[in-house]
């Protein structure tokens, strides 16, 4: 049974060299990635190919803006990809990139103070090299830290989001495969409930099938985090379901687990039409894509915590709103 230690070592080495690379990001990425390296990022980055372009477009400008950048990792695990029958292995890293916000980035004004860019990264490792990465981050949260709030009032609450309550989420050592299977099986059951929106149960009772009563849903800026099934239903799930119709089937690029942790991402995960309005926007008949990363912690037979990254800038762009352009006037 593969314990994914080789793949984990590849990502640890890339992060070590990338985080301490100074300005030579292209050389570092070139040493750790394969030819044709495929990188997916939060809007406005989209898809980028090749180490040089990823370095020049994302890493170099980010380091110039967030000086003395430090990776503060909360979750690290690996696993075989359920979506392709286990043919590929992906490694997941989640946390914050922290630095001194000393120069503009994407039109966001610097503060000269500490800033936290919340991130989650899925990387496919093949033959000792990183072949593919999906890296989502919470740019609106950085905007709020800079005093440029692009959204109206949130239904929940956004703070600097911590790692798991159990502090056991850096899975550097091999894990019991049975625990990982239990986690992935539970995620599959939750996806089945989530995808139908018509279980015949109340929303709260539907959630109770797979979620702990004291669950925490760590949502992105613009929606926020919420605690307990009752408040999650009231502060996010019910408003979201009420705002959208024509939700497509869920589609993921990667879905995996290890130990008590698991997650997935899609490009997009699904499409839906905000006929009832969403996040202050009026109702629309324009379908929108939801690019999402979800990371879960399982406690026993229920999901206890969920960290969620939604590319809300891409969603807004699908609705004709350029949030980054608008933020220049905030």
What pLDDT is attached to residue 199? Answer: 67
Model pLDDT, residue 220: 95
pLDDT digits (tens, 9 = 90+) for 17-63: 999 767 799 999 999 999 999 999 999 999 999 999 999 999 999 99
Q: 250-293, pLDDT tens digit by residue?
A: 899 999 999 999 999 999 999 999 999 888 788 999 999 999 99
Q: How far apart are CA 284 and CA 255, in angstroms?
A: 31
The angle that helices 5-19 and 25-32 make with each other, rounded to 10 degrees, is: 170
Closest Cα to residue 308, out of 146, 178, 167, 120?
120
Distance CA 193, CA 209 (A): 8
pLDDT surpasses 60 at 1: no
What is this structure's pTM?
0.95
Euclidean distance between CA atoms 121 and 30, whole angstroms: 18
- Residue 185 contacts by C-beta under 8 Å, 6 or more apart in sequence? none
Do 5-145 and 177-327 share a fold?
Answer: yes
Closest by Cα among 163, 179, 173 to 305 = 163
Per-residue pLDDT reduced to its tens digit, 208-219: 999 999 999 999
Domain boundaries, the chain: 5-145, 177-327
The dihedral region occupied by 129, where left means phi > 0, alpha psi between -120 and 50, and beta the remainder, is beta
Q: What tokens were used for 40?
A: 């997916």
* Domain boundaries 5-145, CATH class: alpha beta
Burial of 320 (0-12, 13-18, 19+ CB in 10 A): exposed
The domain defined by 177-327 folds into Nuclear Transport Factor 2; Chain: A, (3.10.450)
What distance in Å separates the CA atoms of residue 244 and residue 271, rounded to the nearest whole number?
10
What would the two tokens of residue 26 be? 């292209």
Render pLDDT for 302-321 as a digit per residue (tens, 0 to 9). 999 999 999 999 999 999 99
pLDDT at residue number 81 = 98
């Amino acid at each position: 049974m593969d314990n994914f230690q080789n793949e984990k070592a590849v990502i640890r080495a890339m992060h070590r060299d990338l985080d301490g690379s100074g300005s030579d990001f292209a050389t570092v990425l070139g040493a750790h990635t394969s030819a044709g390296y495929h990188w997916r990022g939060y809007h406005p980055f989209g898809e980028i190919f090749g180490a040089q372009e990823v370095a020049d477009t994302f890493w170099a400008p980010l380091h110039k803006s967030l000086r003395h950048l430090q990776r503060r990792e909360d979750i690290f695990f690996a696993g075989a990809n359920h979506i392709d029958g286990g043919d590929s292995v992906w490694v997941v890293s989640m946390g914050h990139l922290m630095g001194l916000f000393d120069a503009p980035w994407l039109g966001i004004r610097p503060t000269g103070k500490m800033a936290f860019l919340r991130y989650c990264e899925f990387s496919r490792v093949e033959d000792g090299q990183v072949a593919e990465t999906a890296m989502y981050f919470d740019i609106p949260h950085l905007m709020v830290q800079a005093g440029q709030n692009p959204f109206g009032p949130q239904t929940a609450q956004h703070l600097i989001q911590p790692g798991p309550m159990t502090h056991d989420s850096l899975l550097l050592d091999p894990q019991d495969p049975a625990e990982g299977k239990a986690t992935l099986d539970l995620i599959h059951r939750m996806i089945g409930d989530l995808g139908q929106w018509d279980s015949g149960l109340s929303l709260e009772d539907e959630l109770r099938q797979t979620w702990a009563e004291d669950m925490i849903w760590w949502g992105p800026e613009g929606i926020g985090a919420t605690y307990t099934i009752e408040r999650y239903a009231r502060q996010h799930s019910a408003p979201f379901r009420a705002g959208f119709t024509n939700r497509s089937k869920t589609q993921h690029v990667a879905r995996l687990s290890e130990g008590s942790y698991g997650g997935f991402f899609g490009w997009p995960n699904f499409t839906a039409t905000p006929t009832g309005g969403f996040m202050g926007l009026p109702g629309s008949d324009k379908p929108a894509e939801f690019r999402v990363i979800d990371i879960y912690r399982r406690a026993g037979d229920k999901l206890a915590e969920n960290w969620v990254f939604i590319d809300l800038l891409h969603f807004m762009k699908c609705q004709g709103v350029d949030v980054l352009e608008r933020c220049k006037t905030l």
